[in-house]
């Protein structure tokens, strides 16, 4: 995981925040999900492929996954943090979800194998006719304003010249992308998600940010450390770290409006530069992750990075520890 992935996962580890997020994004702010309805799940996604006598395995990790009680039923609700637009996101989300269904399938097959309770077609299938899996739902939390990538698998398919009937059979696979920078219902949040979303939305507009800070002064003055860390990383505003340090040392609270003025005046240029560097790092981390999953040796990956991004070997190696 990269820094923002880790901070987002740590921030949403609090069940009241996760419940608040799901309630606003999925239920128009109604308190359908309660913190006690949420269970943590292992974020590891296991891929197992058997071809003849060979068994190939891969392990990758989702940002956040929770088992959530929805009335009398459960669902797997996942959150993927995105700092950049991934133009292959529908395929990526579909792959993640399929892996989770395959894990449920393997578990169910093992249960039946131990019970030896299947016959006929059920025995050949490995599961019973009436077996059902928990739904897997993925929310893409994009910390930007304009997602111009695909929102459905069909957006990535070349349908030109294809007969209408085949276009229908190709099927749809929509993904749920939430643009934090444009999300219009941030005021429905009951936790400090309200301040996190709001700050991210107005970070690039001095006047709007000052108005937001004035309106949300009480909440911003009492932000927790993990909320400060997430906002600072997402908006590349190091000044927030200084404000957090002052609070930790028990010093008199710095005027937030003055801090915002200082931040925008002194750190805008540095923040933009850091943002560009962060975007570059996100791409390199993704390349390294994909290559490793394909089994490509680290030395080969390092050489590719050196050539693609004009970096030295020492710098290239650092991306394996991210």
pLDDT of residue 272: 57
When pLDDT is cut at 50, 70 and 90, the band that residue 190 belongs to is very high
Instruction: Report the distance separating Cα 289 and Cα 278, nearest Å.
Output: 16
When pLDDT is cut at 50, 70 and 90, the band that residue 47 belongs to is low
The count of other CB atoms within 10 Å of the CB of residue 122 is 15
Instruction: Report the distance separating Cα 61 and Cα 1, nearest Å.
Output: 8
**pLDDT tens digits, 203-216:** 888 788 888 888 88
94-101 contacts, C-beta under 8 A, 24 or more apart? 94/153, 94/173, 96/45, 96/62, 96/138, 97/136, 97/138, 99/45, 99/46, 99/47, 100/45, 100/65, 100/76, 100/136, 101/133, 101/136
State the DSSP H helix or E strand holding residue 9, giving kind and residue range, or none if neither. Answer: helix 3-11
On the question of pLDDT at 141 being above 60, the answer is: yes
User: What average pLDDT does the chain have?
Assistant: 85
**pLDDT tens digits, 117-131:** 999 999 999 999 999
On the question of pLDDT at 265 being above 60, the answer is: no
| Poorest-pLDDT segment among 31-35, 87-91, 277-281 | 277-281
Q: What percent of the chain has pLDDT over 70?
A: 81
Instruction: Report the distance separating Cα 202 and Cα 212, nearest Å.
Output: 8
Instruction: Report the distance separating Cα 91 and Cα 55, nearest Å.
Output: 23
Instruction: Report the distance separating Cα 77 and Cα 100, nearest Å.
Output: 11
On the question of pLDDT at 54 being above 60, the answer is: yes
Task: Compute CA distances 257 → 191, 219, 240, 263, 300, whole Å.
Answer: 22, 14, 12, 10, 50
Q: Which of 51, 44, 53, 58 is nearest to 1 (CA)?
A: 44
pLDDT of residue 186: 94
Q: Are 187 and 193 in contact (CB under 8 A)?
A: no
Strands 38-40 and 44-51: unpaired
On the question of pLDDT at 55 being above 80, the answer is: no
Instruction: Report the distance separating Cα 279 and Cα 75, nearest Å.
Output: 33
Collapsing DSSP to helix, strand or coil, 39 comes out as strand
Most confident of 118-122, 263-267, 292-296: 118-122
Structure letter (DSSP) for residue 222: T
Residues in the chain: 322
The count of other CB atoms within 10 Å of the CB of residue 317 is 15
| Poorest-pLDDT segment among 2-16, 74-88, 122-136, 186-200 | 2-16
When pLDDT is cut at 50, 70 and 90, the band that residue 1 belongs to is very low
| Poorest-pLDDT segment among 60-69, 231-240, 255-264 | 255-264
Q: End-to-end CA distance of the chain: give it in Å, rounded.
A: 7
Collapsing DSSP to helix, strand or coil, 281 comes out as helix
**pLDDT tens digits, 172-186:** 899 999 999 999 999
**pLDDT tens digits, 82-105:** 999 999 999 999 999 999 999 999
């Amino acid at each position: 995981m990269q820094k923002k992935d880790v901070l987002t996962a740590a921030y949403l580890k609090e069940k009241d925040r996760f419940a608040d997020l799901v309630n606003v994004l999925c239920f128009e702010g109604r308190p359908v999900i309660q913190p006690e309805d949420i269970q943590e799940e292992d974020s590891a996604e296991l891929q197992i492929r058997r071809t003849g006598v060979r068994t190939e395995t891969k392990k990758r990790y989702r940002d956040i996954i929770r088992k959530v009680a929805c009335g009398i039923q459960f669902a797997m609700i996942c959150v993927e943090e995105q700092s950049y637009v991934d133009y292959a996101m529908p395929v990526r989300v579909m792959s993640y979800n399929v892996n989770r269904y395959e894990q449920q399938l393997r578990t169910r097959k093992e249960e039946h194998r131990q019970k030896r309770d299947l016959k006929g077609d059920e025995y050949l299938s490995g599961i019973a006719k009436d077996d059902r899996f928990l739904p897997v739902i993925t929310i893409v939390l994009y910390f930007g304003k304009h997602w111009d990538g695909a929102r459905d698998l069909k957006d990535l398919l070349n349908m030109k010249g294809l007969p209408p009937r085949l276009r229908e059979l190709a099927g749809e696979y929509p993904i749920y992308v939430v643009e934090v920078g444009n999300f219009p219902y941030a005021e429905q949040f009951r936790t400090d998600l309200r301040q996190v979303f709001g700050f991210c939305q107005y970070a690039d507009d001095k006047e709007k940010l000052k108005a937001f800070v004035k309106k949300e002064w009480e909440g911003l003055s009492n932000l927790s450390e993990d909320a400060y860390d997430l906002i600072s990383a997402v908006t590349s505003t190091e000044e927030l770290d200084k404000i957090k340090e002052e609070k930790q040392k028990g010093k008199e609270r710095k005027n937030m409006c003055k801090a915002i003025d200082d931040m925008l005046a002194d750190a805008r240029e540095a923040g933009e530069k850091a943002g560009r560097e962060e975007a570059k790092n996100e791409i390199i981390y993704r390349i390294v992750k994909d290559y490793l999953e394909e089994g490509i040796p680290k030395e080969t990956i390092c050489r590719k990075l050196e050539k693609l991004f004009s970096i030295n070997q020492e710098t290239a190696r650092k991306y394996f520890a991210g």
